[in-house]
Amino acid sequence: MDPQDFKDLLNRYAADKCSPEEQREVERLMLKYPLSKNWKWKSELHKNLIKDNMRKQIFNQVDRDLGKHRKRKAYWMTAVASLLLLIGISTFFYLQLHKTINGEQVIAEAINEIYNDVTLTDATGRVTVLKNKEQILDLRKLIAKDAKWNSSGSLNTLRVPSQHQFNLVLMDGTKVRLNAGSSLSFPTQFTAVDRTVKLEGEAYFEVVPNHSKPFMVNAKKSQIKVTGTKFNVAAYPADPRIITSLIEGGVAFHMNKKQYPLKPGYEIIADGNKNSVEVKSFEKDQVMAWIDGYFIFNNMDLVSVMKHVARWYNISVIAPAVAPTKRIGGTFPNTASLDDLLKDLELLSGVKFIRKGKEVQVVY
pLDDT of the residue at 220 = 92
The average confidence (pLDDT) of the chain is 80
Residue 40's pLDDT is 54
pLDDT tens, 166-217?
999 999 999 999 999 999 999 988 888 999 999 999 999 999 999 899 999 9
Q: Which residues pair with 182 in a beta bridge?
A: 160
SS3 category, 332: strand
Give the residues of the chain that fall short of pLDDT 50.
Answer: 31-37, 62, 65-66, 68-101
**pTM (2 decimals)?**
0.72
DSSP-derived pairing of the beta strands 316-320 and 359-363: parallel
CA-to-CA separations, 219 to 92, 242, 253, in angstroms, rounded: 26, 8, 11
Q: How far apart are CA 353 and CA 337, in angstroms?
A: 14
Domains recognised in the chain with CATH numbers: 3-94 (no CATH), 118-287 (2.60.120.1440), 294-363 (3.55.50.30)
In a 13 Å sphere around the CA of 165, the CA atoms on its Cβ side amount to 16
